[in-house]
């Protein structure tokens, strides 16, 4: 356990030595400052009358949560994109000749080494997302003096979404010893495949008449992590205090993550360097 | 006690896409005793690094078995007592010299004040104390090599693998590294050295193994390997011309070279010389340098393979 923690901690250090994570922190700070300026000039009464859902005025605490979600939603998507970009090279970098030899000559098992890298990447993204979400939450909550603690669950849902994609990045990192394929696959799933499969089952479900095509879409839908739903519905439901409405996207994505990570560990334990 | 034992260790690299296979190590048997400096010599691609990687679990054997410190090589906990300086090692560039040692010290199971003390001692030993707080990306090749040696010694290991430890180090630095290795030997540490620098290996090793194309060609002490068993130098007392036309090769220093088939023939020659009343001052078995022996052995082995 100590070995995993050491590797995790030094992965965090490695991450913060890279400019991209500092860029993300800088961007988050800027977003928090801009949010603070924007919400400071908003009038409570104007807000209450202007924000409606289905032509019904919302309660004030719901308005505050809506503002929080409006600000955080584009930022967390950007955060995931940056996190994929900056963490994709952790494993390939460790596997470089001269570096991996040193690590494997120490009394640490290969599984511990890989898990340390995995948890290190997760911890960095968790810190970044937590900084952003807590910052936005504090700015808005102190302005309106309404503290929606459920909003903080966004940190967990976003970190979990990243954890699923990062397991895939680690797998590709172990197999190819390069960051490119892992990064491209994660982007492809996050930006294209997952939203498309979700839409294929919901919005376009009625217009797809072929049973075979429906089966194909279903197969891939259950196979591929549901990042679109995790970052969308799940995050919103958690933020507004509804909790987890549908466990299926979480459990199937979790299964994907465990299989990808388990297979990475299996391959890493067999690999010659 | 043997600190390293290999039995039929074999490594074949094969690719899923290519049909050809590379035999990096073939039926390799070796025993290294505790407390010696063992030098493994061989041309590029001989299998020296592969052997170390197999022993350290960096790569896996195709066949055979091996143990270190009386434990199977698959037991990663054995590495608590092992140090390794790989060739072309890379350290995290964002870390400072002292932090590199701290990181690898912690991975070796050390921590706290004892680790801090050890780091200071080792930086002093490799003369990098004033560079402790400098990021390693500013280090020269020689400094990286010194830091690498300190890293390999961080856990005060029983068995130390050094792959080209003096690579990029200036002559004074090399002497200092040799002194460090001698001091380690005096503390009963075992050192396994891979090097191209035959003259250096000759200076510090107790035993040498010569490897080519994955096969161990010879193994023994430097003396055993460099002795030319059939050639002797005879040094006569004073200016003596009695043997000038005897068929022996006269050297420029006045001594004579004799080639014999065995020790009996040598003694017969000595008896004949003594019967003539000639006084012998010295009978010296001839030695080649390690380099000469190495080149001749590798050439012989290449010739045998080609035939």
pTM of the model: 0.85
Query: What is the C-alpha radius of gyration for chain B, rounded to an integer number of angstroms?
Result: 24
Window from A53-57, A135-139, A186-190 with minimum mean pLDDT: A53-57
Closest CA to B120 of B132, B135, B138: B132
B29 & B178 share domain: yes
> What confidence tens digit (pLDDT) does each residue in A193-212 have?
999 999 888 888 778 888 88
Domain interval for residue B242: 228-287
Confirm whether B302 is domain-assigned.
no
The label of the residue with tokens 């860029």 reads: A23
pLDDT at A57: 56
Q: Is B74 on the interface with A (CB under 8 A)?
A: no
Give A152's DSSP letter.
G
CB contact under 8 A, A272 and B78: no
Confirm whether A162 is domain-assigned.
yes
pLDDT at B139: 93
> What confidence tens digit (pLDDT) does each residue in B284-305 have?
888 778 888 888 888 888 877 7
Confirm whether A33 is domain-assigned.
yes
**CA-based end-to-end distance of chain A:** 24
- Interface mutation vs chain A, best among B86, B107, B161, most A CBs within 10 Å: B107
CB contact under 8 A, B59 and A3: no
CATH number at residue B137: 3.40.50.300
pLDDT at B211: 92
> What confidence tens digit (pLDDT) does each residue in B136-168 have?
999 998 899 999 999 999 999 999 999 988 888
B209 & B123 share domain: yes
Nearest-5° angle of CA A171, CA A175, CA A181? Answer: 75
* Kind plus residue range of the DSSP H or E element containing A57: strand A56-57
Cβ contacts of B170 within 8 Å, gap of 6 or more: B142
Confirm whether B235 is domain-assigned.
yes
Distance separating alpha carbons of residues B295 and B210, to the nearest angstrom: 10
B40 & B77 share domain: yes
Name every chain A residue with its beta carbon within 8 A of the beta carbon of B82. 105
B104 & B42 share domain: yes
B73 & B202 share domain: yes
Distance separating alpha carbons of residues A82 and A24, to the nearest angstrom: 7
B199 & B248 share domain: no
CB contact under 8 A, A99 and B89: yes
Confirm whether A147 is domain-assigned.
yes
Helix axes A153-176, A60-87, angle to 10 degrees: 10
Q: What are phi and psi of B236, to 5 degrees?
A: -90, 160
Domain interval for residue A15: 2-46+57-270
**Mean pLDDT value across chain B:** 89
| Count of the separate structural domains present in chain A | 1
B7 & B111 share domain: yes
Confirm whether A52 is domain-assigned.
no
> What confidence tens digit (pLDDT) does each residue in B94-138 have?
999 999 999 999 999 999 999 999 999 999 999 999 999 999 999
* Kind plus residue range of the DSSP H or E element containing A183: helix A180-187
Confirm whether B45 is domain-assigned.
yes
Name every chain B residue with its beta carbon within 8 A of the beta carbon of A96. 90
CB contact under 8 A, B79 and A96: no
| Count of the separate structural domains present in chain B | 2
DSSP chain B: -EEEEEEEEEEEEE-SS-S-EEEEEEEEEEEEETT-EEEEE--TTSSHHHHHHHHTTSS--SEEEEEETTEETT-GGGGGGEEEE-TT----TTSBHHHHHHHHHHHTT--HHHHHHHHHHHHHHTT-GGGTTSBGGG--HHHHHHHHHHHHTTT--SEEEEESTTTT--HHHHHHHHHHHHHHHHTT-EEEEE-S-HHHHHHH-SEEEEEETTEEEEEEEHHHHHEEEEEEEEEESSS--TTTTSSPEEPTTS-EEEE-SSHHHHHHHHHHHHHTTPPEEEEEEEE--HHHHHHHHHHHHHHHHH-
Q: Last residue of a domain, which of B189, B213, B237?
A: B213
Question: CA torsion sign, A224 to A228 to A229 to A235?
Answer: positive
Window from A77-91, A170-184, B288-302 with minimum mean pLDDT: B288-302
Confirm whether B297 is domain-assigned.
no
B77 & B191 share domain: yes
pLDDT at A52: 63
Look at residue A176 and tell me whether its pLDDT is greater than 90: yes
The shortest C-alpha distance from A187 to chain B (Å) reads 27
Confirm whether B255 is domain-assigned.
yes
pLDDT at B27: 94
Distance separating alpha carbons of residues B130 and B146, to the nearest angstrom: 13
CB contact under 8 A, B84 and A101: yes
Q: Which residue in chain B is spatially nearest to A10 when comparing CA positions?
A: B103
Closest CA to B99 of B142, B137, B156, B125: B137
The label of the residue with tokens 């590709």 reads: A172
CATH number at residue B267: 3.30.70
B42 & B101 share domain: yes
The ipTM of this complex is 0.83
Cβ atoms B134, B146 nearer than 8 A: no
B184 & B241 share domain: no
Closest CA to A258 of A194, A157, A164, A182: A164
Closest CA to B184 of B71, B38, B2: B38
* Residue contacts between A and B (CB atoms, under 8 Å): 75
Cβ atoms B295, B288 nearer than 8 A: no
Name every chain B residue with its beta carbon within 8 A of the beta carbon of A11. none
For the record, the structure tokens of B134 come out as 């400098």
Cβ contacts of B230 within 8 Å, gap of 6 or more: B259, B260, B261
Cβ atoms A190, A227 nearer than 8 A: yes
Cα atoms in the Cβ-side hemisphere of radius 13 Å centred on B270: 16
Confirm whether A51 is domain-assigned.
no
- Interface mutation vs chain B, best among A98, A106, A111, most B CBs within 10 Å: A106
CB contact under 8 A, B84 and A108: no
Confirm whether B176 is domain-assigned.
yes
Confirm whether B117 is domain-assigned.
yes
Look at residue A151 and tell me whether its pLDDT is greater than 90: yes
- Give CA B216 to chain center in angstroms: 13
B204 & B262 share domain: no
pLDDT at B166: 86
B240 & B195 share domain: no
Window from A63-72, A128-137, B226-235 with minimum mean pLDDT: B226-235
């Amino acid at each position: 356990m100590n070995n995993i923690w050491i590797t995790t901690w030094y992965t965090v250090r490695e991450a913060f030595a890279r400019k991209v994570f500092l860029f993300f922190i800088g961007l988050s700070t800027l977003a928090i400052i801009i949010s603070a300026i924007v919400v400071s000039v908003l009038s409570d009464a104007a807000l209450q009358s202007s924000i409606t859902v289905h032509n019904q005025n919302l309660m004030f605490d719901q308005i505050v949560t809506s503002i929080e979600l409006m600000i955080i939603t584009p930022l967390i998507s950007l955060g995931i994109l940056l996190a994929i970009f900056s963490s994709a090279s952790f494993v390939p970098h460790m596997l470089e000749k001269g570096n991996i030899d040193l690590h494997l000559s120490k009394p640490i098992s290969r599984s511990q080494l890989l898990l340390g890298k995995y948890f290190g990447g997760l911890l960095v993204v968790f810190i970044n997302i937590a900084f952003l979400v807590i910052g936005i939450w504090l700015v808005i909550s102190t302005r309106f003096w309404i503290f929606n603690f459920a909003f903080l669950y966004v940190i967990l849902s976003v970190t979990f979404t990243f954890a699923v994609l990062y397991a895939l990045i680690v797998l590709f990192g172990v197999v190819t010893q390069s960051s490119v394929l892992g990064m491209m696959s994660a982007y492809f799933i996050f930006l294209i495949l997952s939203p498309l499969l979700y839409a294929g089952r919901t919005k376009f479900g009625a217009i797809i008449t072929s049973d075979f095509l429906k089966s194909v879409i279903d197969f891939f839908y259950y196979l591929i992590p549901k990042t679109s739903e995790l970052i969308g519905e799940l995050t919103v439901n958690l933020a507004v205090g509804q909790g987890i409405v549908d466990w299926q996207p979480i459990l199937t994505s979790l299964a994907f993550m465990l299989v990808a990570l388990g297979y990475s560990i299996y391959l890493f334990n067999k690999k010659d360097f | 006690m043997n600190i390293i034992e290999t039995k039929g260790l074999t490594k074949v690299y094969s690719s899923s896409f290519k049909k050809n296979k590379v035999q990096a190590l073939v039926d390799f048997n070796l025993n290294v005793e505790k407390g010696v400096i063992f030098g493994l010599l061989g041309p590029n691609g001989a299998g020296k690094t592969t052997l170390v990687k197999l022993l350290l679990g960096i790569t896996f054997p195709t066949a055979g078995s091996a143990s270190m410190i009386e434990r199977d090589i698959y037991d990663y906990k054995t590495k608590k007592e092992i140090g390794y300086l790989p060739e072309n090692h890379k350290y995290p560039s964002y870390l400072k010299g002292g932090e590199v040692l701290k990181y690898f010290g912690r991975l070796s199971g050390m921590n706290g004040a004892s680790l801090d003390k050890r780091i200071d001692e080792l930086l002093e030993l490799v003369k990098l104390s004033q560079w402790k707080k400098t990021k390693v990306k500013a280090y020269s090749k020689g400094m990286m090599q010194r830091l690498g040696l300190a890293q390999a010694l961080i856990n005060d290991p029983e068995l130390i693998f050094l792959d080209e430890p003096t690579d990029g180090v200036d002559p004074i630095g090399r002497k200092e590294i040799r002194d460090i290795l001698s001091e380690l030997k005096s503390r009963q540490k075992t050192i396994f050295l891979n090097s191209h620098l035959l003259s250096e290996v000759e200076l510090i090793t107790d035993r040498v193994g010569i490897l080519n194309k994955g096969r161990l060609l010879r193994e023994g002490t430097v003396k055993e390997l460099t002795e030319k068993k059939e050639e002797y130098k005879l040094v006569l007392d004073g200016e003596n011309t009695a043997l000038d036309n005897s068929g022996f090769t006269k050297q420029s220093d006045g001594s004579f070279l004799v080639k014999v088939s065995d020790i009996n023939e040598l003694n017969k020659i000595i008896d004949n010389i003594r019967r003539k009343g000639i006084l012998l001052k010295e009978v010296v078995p001839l030695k080649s340098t390690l380099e000469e022996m190495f080149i001749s052995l590798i050439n012989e082995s290449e010739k045998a393979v080609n035939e």
